[in-house]
Structure 1
Amino acid sequence: MTDVLIKRLSIASLSLLLVVLIAVLCIVWTMPDSNQPDSDSEICLQNDNNNVECGKTIDLLHAMFEKEIESAYAGAEKQEKIQTEKYIKDALQHDVHLMSDYKNTLWSMKPSAKLVGVREQIKHVQGNDSIATVTCWRHDKDLYYTTGFQRYGIRYQNGRLIVPVSGTYYIYSFLGLTERRLTDEGIPVEPKNMREIKHALHKYNVLDTVDMEIASNLQSRKNASRGYFNYYTSQIATLAKLRAGDEISVMLSDETLLENTGNNYFGLHLI
């Protein structure tokens, strides 16, 4: 009697297990397929609210990059203000009198830079067929003892000024250009290029991968009636809204005109 009861219980258990397995298989087969994000164009990141946010890779990374840059700049600016305030308090405790105008300028720490041209003559073999980036600038430590400067996060790389924070910037550039007219013996030099001279300011951002013209100046070539050289001057000044990471450069259609660059300058500052 006991063996029969055990056998019946075993059969009932196996039957119940079989029913459960069949139910699980039915649930799995009927589940809808979940949409997986495309790894080539989409990404999922955790936002400030600890929620996962999915979207286009470029857009999310761009937003995160700009947010981190702004946060780092704000933190640095806050630390600068704390240190400056401490310095003022310490100075006043030791009876050091600071002028109020000077004290007020300590709070204005906006990114700015002015590059000046190198004084040596630059011989450009190429560059008269298409517009090219002007790279003959003094920068960083080379600006010491000159009228140039780089302040509060502005970086220089390959002829470009890189802005650290988004905002509206005043951008300017001046070029003095020289073209040989006569040889030392007084023989006329045949011009190699009669195209118009274009001087421009360009903007580039690694997120856009597109080089964009901000402003430009176009002028015709001339032939002086006396002297050994033809001289040209070109100046550009404009306002532009820039993003953190934008790279600003000076472009010229004929680099052979950059024979004497000591008086050239190029800069920008946040307004």
Structure 2
Amino acid sequence: MKRLTFSLLVLVLVVLITVLALVWTMPGLPSTIRADTICLPDEHGTLTCGRTPDLLHDYLKRVTVDESDRHEQEVENRLKQYTKENGNHLKNIYDKFYWEMKPAAKVTGKRQPNMRKSDIGGKMMPIREWCHGRELYYTDGFIRYGVRYRNGRLVVPVSGTYYIYSFINFYQPCKYAEKPDTPYTASDRIEHGIFKFNISTERETEIASHIQPEMVSCNMYLNSYSSYVSTLAELKAGDELSVKVSNLTFLKYSRNNFFGLNLI
């Protein structure tokens, strides 16, 4: 029994000596540490002691930033690997979304207001009213991704190559119904065009047009004409597009008319 007790005392003594040796040989450990002091490794691994709030704040900030950088790098590597393995599939998806998000508009026809004095006698008169805004809810028209409607014109939001188009139905009383002896001349023609107005140069230019001669209708009372105009055009941001016709009075049934653009 005495031997066992002696052995236990020796073991405890050895442990205490070992602990004291470790404490004594710890680098940078101050001989006296106050209650508000803590020792933590710095960015170089050296044990540093100081005020608990300051040292703990710096340590947690450094560890958090290091962990965040490591996590971001890991996510970036995983994303690169996923993109490499699924590149073709992603390209097909994003190409589709990119196309759907390109500026586009289609406004539909409506009854025109009374003609202005400036329109009377003009060679080409603008169509001043199209269905837009909430009026398009009940049609197949739309205005999206930056295109604006202003006073019968479509305003281009970004520069690029656009596909522009317009369809107009014309209904004209036949001249022979009122004056059977009135002949048709070369000046009797139906014109339909798309025009571009640049606000910086204050110039208006014709982009596309369609011309057809007036004809004698089979019933001798009413002539009907259909005109579709389309083209590709390089447009700048802020350009305003409008549709003009040779005679506004021929737009009797305007609900089938439309005018639009798409960025390609």
User: When the two structures are superposed, what TM-score results if normalisation uses the length of structure 2?
Assistant: 0.57
Q: Kindly tell me: are residues 148 and 166 of structure 1, through their superposed partners in 2, closer, same or farther at Cα, counting changes over 3 Å?
A: same
| Equivalent residue in structure 2 for 1:135, among 97, 104, 128 | 128
The Cα of 1:187 is off from its aligned counterpart by 5.6
Residue of structure 1 equivalent to 2:249: 256
Helix, strand or coil at the partner of 2:249: helix
* RMSD of aligned Cα (Å): 3.0
Q: Deviations over 1:193-248 (max 9, x none)?
A: 96322111100111011001101111111111216311111110100010000001
User: Which residue does the alignment assign to 1:117?
Assistant: 109
Once residues 191 and 138 of structure 1 are traced to their aligned partners in structure 2, the CA distance between those partners, rounded to angstroms, is: 37
Give the drift of 1:130: 2.1
Residue matched to 2:211? 218
Alignment-derived partner of residue 258 in structure 2: 265
Q: Which residue of 1 is the match for residue 162 of structure 2?
A: 169
Unaligned ranges ≥5, structure 2: 1-89
Q: Contact 1:131–1:251 (CA<8 Å) still a contact in 2?
A: yes
Give aligned-pair identity as a percent. Answer: 41
Partners of 1:128 and 1:265 lie apart in 2 by 25
Tell me which amino acid in the other structure corresponds to 1:266.
Answer: F
Give the direction of change, closer, same or farther, for the CA distance of 1:200–1:174 in structure 2 (3 Å limit): same
Specify which of 140, 148, 155 is matched with residue 148 of structure 2: 155
Distance 1:102 1:128 in 2: 53
Q: CA deviation at 1:253?
A: 1.3
Equivalent residue for 2:12? none
Structure number, greater radius of gyration: 2
Say which structure is richer in helix: 2
Determine if contact 1:202/1:215 at 8 Å carries over to the other structure.
Answer: yes
Q: Which runs of 5+ in 1 are unaligned?
A: 1-99
In the alignment, residue 161 of structure 1 is paired with which amino acid?
Answer: L
Task: Give the corresponding residue for 1:240.
Answer: 233
Residue 265 of structure 1 aligns with an amino acid whose one-letter code is F
Distance 1:127 1:263 in 2: 25
Relative to 1, partners in 2 of residues 1:259 and 1:181: Cα closer, same or farther, differing over 3 Å? same
Aligned position for 1:202: 195
Q: What corresponds to 1:16 in structure 2?
A: none
Q: In the alignment, what sits opposite 1:96? A: none
| 1:13-55 superposed Cα distances (whole Å, 9 cap, x missing partner) | xxxxxxxxxxxxxxxxxxxxxxxxxxxxxxxxxxxxxxxxxxx
Mark the CA change 1:251 to 1:121 in structure 2 (over 3 Å): closer, same or farther.
closer
SS in structure 2 at match of 1:144: helix
Q: For residues 222 and 192 of structure 1, what CA distance do their matches in structure 2 show?
A: 8
Task: Report SS of the residue matched to 1:262.
Answer: helix
Instruction: State the match for 2:221 in structure 1.
Output: 228
Number of aligned residue pairs:
169
The question of whether the paired residues in 2 share the 8 Å contact of 1:179 and 1:231 is answered with: yes
Counterpart of 1:195 in structure 2: which amino acid? Answer: D
Q: Secondary structure at the match of 2:138?
A: coil
Distance 1:123 1:191 in 2: 29
Deviations 1:138-176, CA, capped at 9 Å, x for gaps: 012210121000000100111110010000000000000
Following the alignment from structure 2 to structure 1, what is the Cα–Cα distance between the partners of residues 122 and 203? Answer: 21
**Runs of 4+ in structure 1 over 6 Å off:** 100-104, 189-193
Q: Which amino acid aligns with 1:112?
A: A
TM, length-normalised to structure 1: 0.55
Quote the offset at 1:122 in angstroms: 6.2
Which deviates the most, 155-164 or 226-235? 226-235
- Aligned residues of 1:128 and 1:253 also touching (Cα < 8 A): no
